[in-house]
Amino acid sequence: MLKKRYLSDGTICKVSFYLPEQIDAKTAYVVGDFNNWNKEATPMVRLKSGQWKADINLDAGKEYQYRFLVNGSEWHNDWEADKYLAHPWGGENSVVVT
């Protein structure tokens, strides 16, 4: 799930990424264009509800591909992404449009 909030000048979009609740995670990261696909740059935080969340400020008016890295080895898409794009390894990446 994605939640978007634009800052007052409209140039920055604060995006909240939520890991789908059905995914059993002990660790979770959101990895994508916005952090050069660095697997450890953006850890997700487990909320009291048990859901995982990460907030990232992104430039408005752009598209960013991303995926979730769970338990250090499992790649998952966001089932509620804005859209999906094929990647060279035969699957798709989630895309957030700001």
What are the structural domains, with CATH classification, of the chain? 2-97 (2.60.40.10)
- For residue 21, the model assigns a pLDDT of 81
- What does pLDDT average to over the chain? 94
Entry pTM: 0.92
Q: Whole-angstrom Cα distance, residue 20 to residue 24?
A: 9
Asked if the model's pLDDT at residue 75 lies above 90, the reply is yes
Phi, psi of 33 (to 5 degrees): -55, -35
Q: Give the model confidence (pLDDT) of 22-31 as tens digits.
A: 889 999 999 9
> What percent of the chain clears pLDDT 70, i.e. is strictly above it?
100
